[in-house]
Structure 1
Amino acid sequence: MSYLIVAKNDIKLFITRAMVAVGTNASHADILADVLIAGDYRGHFSHGLNRLDLYLEDIKGKSCKADGQPIILNESAATAWVDGNNLLGPVVGKFCMELAIKKAKEAGIGWVVAKGSNHFGIAGYYSLLAMNENMIGMAFTNASPLVATTRGKEPFFGTNPLTVAAPANNGDSFVLDMATSVVALGKVELADRKDESIPDNWAIDKNGQQITDPKNLNALLPLGGPEKSSGYKGYGLAMMVELFTAILSGSAVAPNVRKWSDNHTTANLGQCFVAINPEMFAPGFTDRMSNLIDHCRNQEPVDGQPNVLVAGDPERENMRKCDEQGGIAYHINQITFANGIASQLNIEPPKVHSD
């Protein structure tokens, strides 16, 4: 029995209990739980339950505030500059995207940047907030230095994810959610937790050599991998994200963001949230979006390959599977990890049943 199933609500309650147990405002804990569950439900296990200890340590170490509200420092009809007040990243992110949506409904676009934020979980959570209001949603964040440049040996940029979500007809959609590194750090962490190897184009050791043992990780590679396979494009995208987040907001800029493990230090991440109202542009946006999506999916695949997908399809399939099996399937080592947290905090562990 290598996987155990936990109902979405049960894992949410567990995450909320854990965060409240270390002093987090209950409503903030609830927002964080929503974001982490969204990660696991959509199949991005690197950014769900796997990340809980990061947030717990930030609160326990007082490098992140357990209560308070983000502050609007400056705004116009379509823009805002926000101080996240060093709160949990999901609390800052939800505040900012809801503000961007409000502005987009009134002005056609909302562009909100925040300083003083923290790790905000799965980026797609925020673009989906806008998409669910029939908007195009985008979100960007900088992060702890984990990714080498194409010719460097040491971490310089964060994984610097970006997301774009757009509605189509009949509940269909395009939902891009990606790191600007080959993979997110959490995928390497999960491989380590499961005692698995990693592909040799994911990461490098201290000598700049590509590795397969996650324990030898020194830095991730930018999207594309080494320079010879166009890793400079991922390098460029990471720098673009830095521009929209840290440079625009006045937050910490790569490589001066705190290290991943420095829970005693304030992160001061920069983030950017955009909502665009397609009704302000050419009529028929969702029709054209659906046509594009259908054309992509209807391409004839190469022999032996599965059907062509569009961004968001793997997540939809994972959500369907979760719904059918009555919850999220977690590797047994992840449940052991959760049970360890429950024991440390003297709270009830998540309820599980076998796959």
Structure 2
Amino acid sequence: MLIPENALRQFAQQVFLAIGCSPEHATLAADVLLKADLRGIDSHGVARLSGYVRLWEKQRINATPDIQIAHETPTTATVDGDAGLGLVTAPFAMEIAIKKAEQFGSGWVAVRNSNHFGIAGYHAMMAAEKDMIGFAVTNASPLVAPTFSNERMLGTNPICYVFPAGEFPPVVVDMATSAAANGKLEIAQRKGSDVPEGWLQDQQGNAVTDPHALKSGGSLLPLGSDREHGSHKGFGLSSVVDILSGVLSGAGYGPWVPPFVAFLDPLPNPPGQGIGHFVGAMRVDGFRPVADFKANMDNWIRRFKLANPIDRAQKVIIPGEPELEAELDRKANGIPLVDAVVEDLNTLAEKFGLERMGNF
């Protein structure tokens, strides 16, 4: 089913309002989710709405948080999200990072006591709008086993860098540090299809392709899949994200990061509070004139787009290009939702007395 962007945005806003969010927070949270859907990252868009509602019902999400700066220097800060939506606390933190960068050249903000923050790209792209390089990472529910282990210790822990350009759109590198994002498993589950080998292992450490393997004690693998194919590199990148997001901020880290699903309780005696994020902004003109940088970025992009392809039918893709193409298409033609997500949203519609998806 294709749903117009504005209709889906309004629905998401109404759900956030229904759980008690302020109009400002409801609008922002909906915007973060819609950005994911528009950019083709369906696993992190409105498909997550019911998950946020269930966590709110379990009193693990505070719909009216008092977000505060807990610690600060001229170029750094730590934000306490008061158990609020990460969709709200992460943009709050990036605004602080941008303001610090405007004054001092760069700004870096850690966040604790937060929740799932949607796509990392949303937050990092905020900096690019100000001619800054944006950076955003977050830790997440422990679903990934470190190299040589079968114990879930890390999240999919995404990393995002955004570099502004001139003639071309920004270069957006937004990726999980696991072999695949958990949302990819959810998409495969909804479609009833297997996933590629190298994404998952069962409880004994054997490679499996069943997208439901996590439910029977399996785990996601780090980027690289196994030691022979470089999983230690994915493990290392994920560790950096976890330390910046959790250890540095005072949030939970490793196996103590709270699970996104409401039926699982966090581990007892956590060393920190909630999920953690880390965002940053660097002024380009702190290094060289913006116009010069953008001219070279355009040249970089142009040259890489002309790289000799293995198959003439498949040209080199610049990071962020597929998502931008999806956004242009979906803004014009609507956002496709699979039946399982439509049913999920209609359940929310009935719960909160909203208009059903089929009526749009």
In the alignment, the residues of structure 1 paired with residue 3 and residue 318 of structure 2 have an alpha-carbon distance, to the nearest angstrom, of 28
Is residue 313 of structure 1 aligned with residue 324 of structure 2?
no
**Cα drift, residue 350 of structure 1:** 3.1
Structure 2: which 5+ runs fail to align? 267-272
CA distance in 1, matches of 2:9, 2:262: 26
Could you tell me how far apart the structure 2 residues matched to 1:337 and 1:194 are? Answer: 15
Give 2:270's aligned residue.
none
**CA drift at 1:344:** 2.9
Q: Normalized against structure 2, the TM-score is what? A: 0.93
Q: How far apart are the structure 2 equivalents of 1:332 and 1:151?
A: 38
Q: In the aligned structure 1, how far is the partner of 2:172 from the partner of 2:186?
A: 25
Match of 1:255 in 2: 255
- Tell me the alpha carbon deviations over residues 81-132 of structure 1, each in whole angstroms, 9 at most, x when there is no partner: 1111111001100100011011111100011111111100011000011111
Counterpart for residue 231 of structure 1: 231
Given the alignment, which residue of 100, 107, 111 partners 2:108? 111
Q: Distance in 2 between matches of 1:68 and 1:332?
A: 33
Give the C-alpha shift of residue 349 in structure 1. 2.1
- The answer to whether residue 183 in structure 2 is matched with residue 186 in structure 1 is yes
**Segments ≥4 residues shifted beyond 4 Å:** 262-267
Q: Relative to structure 1, is the Cα distance of residues 263 and 84 closer, same or farther in structure 2, using a 3 angstrom cutoff?
A: farther
Name the amino acid aligned to 2:284: P
Identity %: 37
Distance 1:248 1:109 in 2: 18
Q: Is the 8 A contact 2:65 2:81 kept in 1?
A: no
The CA distance in 1 between the partners of 2:265 and 2:76, in whole Å, is 29
User: Of residues 292, 296, 319 in structure 1, which corresponds to 2:300?
Assistant: 292
Any conservation in 1 of the 2:38–2:331 contact (CA below 8 Å)? no
Per the TM alignment, residue 72 of structure 1 is displaced from its structure 2 partner at its CA by 0.6
SS in 1 for 2:241: helix
1:64 aligns with 2:70: no
Question: Which residue identity does 2:297 align to in structure 1?
Answer: M
Aligned length: 349
Deviates more, 1:34-43 or 1:344-353: 344-353
Q: CA deviation at 1:253?
A: 1.5
Task: Give the direction of change, closer, same or farther, for the CA distance of 1:351–1:110 in structure 2 (3 Å limit).
Answer: farther
Partner of 2:44: 47
Q: 1: CA distance between counterparts of 2:93 and 2:181?
A: 23
Distance 1:282 1:21 in 2: 47
Correspondence for 1:334 among 341, 348, 351: 341
Change (3 A) 1:238 1:352: farther
Coordinate RMSD, CA, aligned: 1.6
Decide whether aligned partners of structure 1 residues 13 and 324 sit closer, same or farther in structure 2, where only a CA change above 3 A counts: closer
> Is contact 1:172–1:290 with CA below 8 Å preserved after alignment?
no
2:269 aligns with none
- Partner of 1:183, secondary structure, is coil
Cα offset, 1:157, TM superposition? 0.3
Deviation at 1:24, TM superposition (A): 2.8
- CA deviation vs aligned residue, 1:13-34 (integer Å, no higher than 9, x gap): 1111122223333322221111
The structure 2 residue matched to 1:324, chosen from 322, 326, 332, is: 332
The answer on whether the counterparts of 1:174 and 1:312 sit within 8 Å (CA) in structure 2 is: yes
Q: Closer, same or farther in 2 for the Cα pair 1:25/1:225, shift >3 Å?
A: same
Instruction: State whether residues 61 and 264 of structure 1, in contact with CA within 8 Å, keep that contact through their aligned partners in structure 2.
Output: no
Q: Which residue of 2 aligns with 1:36?
A: 33
> Does 1 or 2 have the higher relative contact order (CA < 8 Å, sep 6+)?
1
The alpha carbon displacement at 1:346 in A equals 2.6
> Is the 2:213–2:219 contact (alpha carbons within 8 Å) kept by the matching residues of 1?
no
Show CA shifts across 1:5-51 (max 9, x none). 11111111111112222333332222111111000100101100111
The structural deviation recorded for 1:263 is 5.8
The Cα of 1:158 is off from its aligned counterpart by: 0.6
Q: Give the corresponding residue for 1:345.
A: 352
**Structure 2: how far apart are the matches of 1:47 and 1:303?**
32
1:78 aligned to 2:85?
no
Alignment TM-score, normalising by the size of structure 1: 0.94
Contact 1:128–1:137, Cα closer than 8 Å, also in 2: yes
Judged with a 3 Å threshold, the aligned counterparts in structure 2 of structure 1 residues 174 and 121 are, in CA distance, closer, same or farther, namely same
Aligned residue for 1:143? 140
Amino acid at match of 2:343: T
Within 5 Å, which residues of 2 pair with 1:207-286? 207-217=204-214, 218-262=218-262, 268-283=274-289, 284-286=292-294
Provide the rounded CA distance (Å) in 2 between the counterparts of 1:351 and 1:31.
Answer: 25
